[in-house]
Structure 1
């Protein structure tokens, strides 16, 4: 199930996207209060924007503008809206997105071809281990995508290992959609209850919300711990509400594939200049085929590296490597630049840690500080020293680390209204 455009030559893909771009610009100029105002303010004649390179003539859109002028991005009347979703609000106030009937069809198509990347077919059954309610786009998208493929789906929702295993043993799903760290809880439950992991029905997991790989595509610590206990294939998928689009690994697991029929991708430096493939920069996207709230040159805040060498699967699209970090969560700590995923990987090395949260804040002189709160049954100075030595060896710096109760940390990780666990609390 590989769309023909994704197997086309790079020149054909570019020409296809440029035609879609011109259609989008005409739509925004007619329907979008925000972009009409932007074009007028900067004297942009959209007839002069004909190529991907011409996009550089248009100012970028940021999350701040999306939050401040949320309603002005809407391009349809209220009677055309079928579904409302909101972003998770990880970095600032949540943003509302309104989807039309066609937008929901597009969302289903996106997830169907994304799941197909990971090998899901109509002969599979997929167990959904994330919420489908609470205005959460991802859960709805997963359901719609599996339905479009024609596979079976089991909507269990988040958490509760006992219920998850009850469903696995009863309905025999072949794929799970789950947060990877939750798989460790499933493994622990299986061991306590004599469930034979390697003889259950699950052959693969589409992993959301947490990275699985290092920048060279090798498994990171968390993924290595999972696969050491459970012989299953893990597939990364990366998406956001703003993009309405996912980047999912194929069987060769060399990055998430771009779907050029759905989104234009730019990798920009801090001055909004395009960067070549292979160089880390901020993912900036232009959505194609969206009616409700299309976005033009939207800076996602995610730092990534794009790869354009050929993939053995036959797709000729670029691939996004693992997220390096969120631009706003970049930390300058004792002269070293850090992103939270680097610290997550180190903490996952320690089986003694039951739960943790990383807090980032400014000290009295305005520089960045890091406090890691951990819960463990072994509150010893020896463990603290091991952790600090490991941080020093891997990152050259040692953050402050404190013991807290698991209950207190879980309260921080799951605040009221949260739809997913929060491991990073940025108080700057």
Structure 2
């Protein structure tokens, strides 16, 4: 199992533990990672200067570019031969970011993921259906070993082959499913096409992450699958899945494993801390990692934090669900908007299915944004499969009004027939350039 006491430490006990571990981590990187020693010296700070948690602001930030510039092992605090595993990002936009784990790191990771799964309803002896991708991506293996640490029977099916996923869900009767929310939606749709009722499976809890998703998507998944759906947060540069998790009791903010990670929220423009409860960019410092300790890592994720007590009894700091990423924010006719806000509005339109793409076309100084949405079968049949039907125009006006009221933006909508927008077997691609639009034929 795992140490439950860490989830209910008093504020004083937690802060004393965090400070001790922060001091140890600062000393570790200063003595073993030339990149950090140079950064510390530039900031005129040494590990001995860390006398309180507030002193973390003396330390330098780390960004993704730093990991790429020091590719592959330049930020490791341990020789590669002393690590037990290496993970890496996909590297689709340049060199991948590479992270390493010692045996102790893997043990810590298993511990926090086991705690996360337990918070979401997982129990020893139960069956967990793991549809996260396995491989260099941290999602699949991170969930896998945490599930085994908890004592669950783990089905390592990975992503894809949706018909087989459905068969194993029916035959193995798991109580927990883990995957990206967009892929679980695909499973639900396929079950319905097969004449099955998704609400009649054995599933009780869903642990969904690896992409930003809205409260409206939660309601959709819970209603159609008959489960409780919880958000899990993680990123490979800091550890992987399990950094934070919603509890099944409250489903109100994600409990951060703050005995292992110190969180800050900053204004991404000024880099100054914001007040508790205000949105900003999440910044994480690892407190117990050995192979790749990370100092003040700027995640690019927008959220807020709260120290208010939770009804579940855990005392950890909670973060809000991620609103979006800084680099995913769109500026549409002068208005800032995140895809998750658009998703929330679209899910309130009953004629649509929860699949969409925001297509960006470069148009001189200002990008032109088109919203591609997919209508559902019932509406498609009502217009006799005629995409030029006048009801399409009425629907377009309805969507335009909804987005204007909810997001304060005006976006042209383009409609696709049922099943025509690409379904992802991993992370959903919501923002695409015009030449990358993926419609099935």
Q: Is TM (by shorter chain) over 0.5?
A: yes
- Is the Cα contact below 8 Å between 1:2 and 1:315 reproduced in 2? no
- Is the Cα contact below 8 Å between 1:211 and 1:236 reproduced in 2? no
Aligned counterpart, 1:139:
140
Structure 1 residues 302 and 34, CA, compared in 2 at 3 Å: closer, same or farther? same
Aligned counterpart, 1:307:
306
Structure 1 residues 101 and 361, CA, compared in 2 at 3 Å: closer, same or farther? farther
> Are 1:230 and 2:242 an aligned pair?
no
Aligned counterpart, 2:370:
371
Once the two structures are superposed, the pairs formed by residues 87-98 of structure 1 within 5 Å of their partners are 87-88=89-90, 93-98=95-100
Aligned counterpart, 2:122:
120
State how far apart, in whole Å, the 1-side matches of 2:312 and 2:69 are.
42
Aligned counterpart, 2:108:
106
- Is the Cα contact below 8 Å between 1:308 and 1:317 reproduced in 2? yes
Q: Deviations over 1:152-179 (max 9, x none)?
A: 0112221333211210111110110022
Flag structure 2 segments of 5+ consecutive residues without an equivalent: 435-441
Aligned counterpart, 1:49:
50
Aligned counterpart, 2:258:
260
Q: Deviations over 1:356-379 (max 9, x none)?
A: 3223465312x3442323445663
- Is the Cα contact below 8 Å between 1:222 and 1:349 reproduced in 2? no
Q: What count of residue pairs does the alignment treat as equivalent?
A: 414
Q: CA RMSD in A?
A: 2.5
Report the CA distance between 1:407 and its aligned residue. 8.6
**Normalising to structure 2: TM-score of the pair?**
0.86
Report the CA distance between 1:323 and its aligned residue. 0.7
The 10-residue stretch of structure 1 (323-332 or 120-129) with the greater mean CA deviation from structure 2: 323-332
> Are 1:250 and 2:257 an aligned pair?
no
- SS for the counterpart of 2:74 is helix
- Is the Cα contact below 8 Å between 2:211 and 2:428 reproduced in 1? no
- SS for the counterpart of 1:292 is coil
- Is the Cα contact below 8 Å between 2:307 and 2:318 reproduced in 1? yes
Aligned counterpart, 1:401:
413
> Are 1:389 and 2:401 an aligned pair?
yes
Report the CA distance between 1:212 and its aligned residue. 5.1
Report the CA distance between 1:343 and its aligned residue. 1.4
- SS for the counterpart of 1:104 is helix
State how far apart, in whole Å, the 2-side matches of 1:129 and 1:402 are.
31
Report the CA distance between 1:395 and its aligned residue. 1.5
Aligned counterpart, 1:341:
340
Aligned counterpart, 1:358:
358
> Are 1:423 and 2:421 an aligned pair?
no
State how far apart, in whole Å, the 1-side matches of 2:217 and 2:256 are.
25
Q: Deviations over 1:31-63 (max 9, x none)?
A: 112101212223212211121100111221122
Q: Deviations over 1:1-58 (max 9, x none)?
A: 6632331221221111000001101111111121012122232122111211001112
Aligned counterpart, 1:286:
285
- Is the Cα contact below 8 Å between 2:130 and 2:179 reproduced in 1? yes
- Is the Cα contact below 8 Å between 2:114 and 2:146 reproduced in 1? yes
Structure 1 residues 239 and 171, CA, compared in 2 at 3 Å: closer, same or farther? same
Report the CA distance between 1:211 and its aligned residue. 4.5
Report the CA distance between 1:253 and its aligned residue. 1.1
- SS for the counterpart of 1:167 is helix
Report the CA distance between 1:254 and its aligned residue. 1.2
Aligned counterpart, 1:331:
330
Structure 1 residues 404 and 193, CA, compared in 2 at 3 Å: closer, same or farther? closer
- SS for the counterpart of 2:124 is coil
- SS for the counterpart of 2:167 is helix
Report the CA distance between 1:225 and its aligned residue. 2.1
**Normalising to structure 1: TM-score of the pair?**
0.89
